Amino acid sequence: MLTLQGLRVPGRLSGCDLKVAAGECVGLIGPNGAGKTTLLRAAQGLIPAQGYSSLAALPIAKRARACAFMPQGREIAWPMQVQVLIALGRALQPGSAGDAAVETAIAALDLQALRHRDATSLSGGEQARALLARAMAQDTPLLIADEPIAGLDPAAQIATMRLLRRLAGQGRGVIVSLHDLGLAAQHCTRLVLLHQGRIVADGPPPAVLTPRHLADYFGVTGSLTQSPDGPVLHLRGLTTDPRP
């Protein structure tokens, strides 16, 4: 679904190798400035990069049928109804599934009550849901979302992560960047940890969110434990805090 080999953006990203398969919900994590957005954009050919990306190698129209992208910047440039914005996700898709895909996305992101509103008048969190719905309506094998839960209230964060996991369960490949490591552990099938432009860990959440990695790459003390409800992350403080 996506293969990166030695993907590199000088000064920002070094030699990244990554494979994402159908059914995976891959959480891309790392501290501010680690290179998450750079990797996601370079993988799609949206910024110049060296190395190989199976997606960037496609002609642009095929790329739009292979991958939908919800960018980190949530600017909606033109006033238009939310449902029209979401339908733009269908612009390059063939076939007659358009209306159904738009309705499914509106329902999945709980946008029924907002569908006739001017999209530019929505709150930040509502705009995020509308833009994710547009990407979902594109109905592509791969969905890439750059910090889709930033600025969402807790219920919307959980609902969004559950949705992304469900889409992966239905056979899409999903890559989602996020800073909430607890939600990443709970909802992603696999985590990829970036630090200073390099992939430093890649695997199931317990293998990536180790106390050592939390300390070395995030500067926090903590651990991931298993509970009957799933993994729970306990963050205790900063590695620079004085020892008790």
Residues in the chain, how many? 244
Say whether residue 33 binds ligand ATP (CB under 6 A). Answer: yes
Shortest spacing between CB 47 and ligand ATP, in angstroms = 7
68: left (phi over 0), alpha (psi -120 to 50) or beta: beta
Say whether residue 32 binds ligand ATP (CB under 6 A). Answer: yes
# residues near ligand ATP by CB under 6 A: 9
Question: Count of CB atoms within 10 A of residue 44's CB?
Answer: 21
Of the pair 66, 194, the CB lying nearest ligand ATP is at 194
Shortest spacing between CB 38 and ligand ATP, in angstroms = 3
Whether 196 and 15 have beta carbons less than 8 Å apart is answered as no
The distance from CA 33 to its chain's CA centroid, rounded to whole angstroms, is: 16
Shortest spacing between CB 150 and ligand ATP, in angstroms = 9
Question: Residue 66, SS3?
Answer: helix
Shortest spacing between CB 237 and ligand ATP, in angstroms = 21
Among 4, 26, 29, 35, binds ligand ATP (CB under 6 A): 35
Say whether residue 34 binds ligand ATP (CB under 6 A). Answer: yes
- The DSSP bridge partners found for residue 175 are 26, 144
Is residue 17 within a helix (H) or strand (E), and if so which, with residue range?
strand 13-20
Say whether residue 30 binds ligand ATP (CB under 6 A). Answer: yes
Among 2, 18, 26, 37, binds ligand ATP (CB under 6 A): 37
In sequence order, the 6+-apart residues with CB closer than 8 A to the CB of 122 are 76, 82, 114, 130
Of the pair 115, 218, the CB lying nearest ligand ATP is at 218
Q: Which two tokens stand for residue 48?
A: 């110049």
Site string for ligand ATP, 10-29 (x = CB under 6 A): --x-----------------
Whether 142 and 150 have beta carbons less than 8 Å apart is answered as no
| Strand 142-146, strand 25-29: pairing | unpaired
Q: Which two tokens stand for residue 84?
A: 């029209």
Shortest spacing between CB 206 and ligand ATP, in angstroms = 23
Say whether residue 222 binds ligand ATP (CB under 6 A). Answer: no
Say whether residue 1 binds ligand ATP (CB under 6 A). Answer: no
Among 18, 38, 136, 195, binds ligand ATP (CB under 6 A): 38
Binding site for ligand ATP (CB under 6 A): 12, 30, 32-38
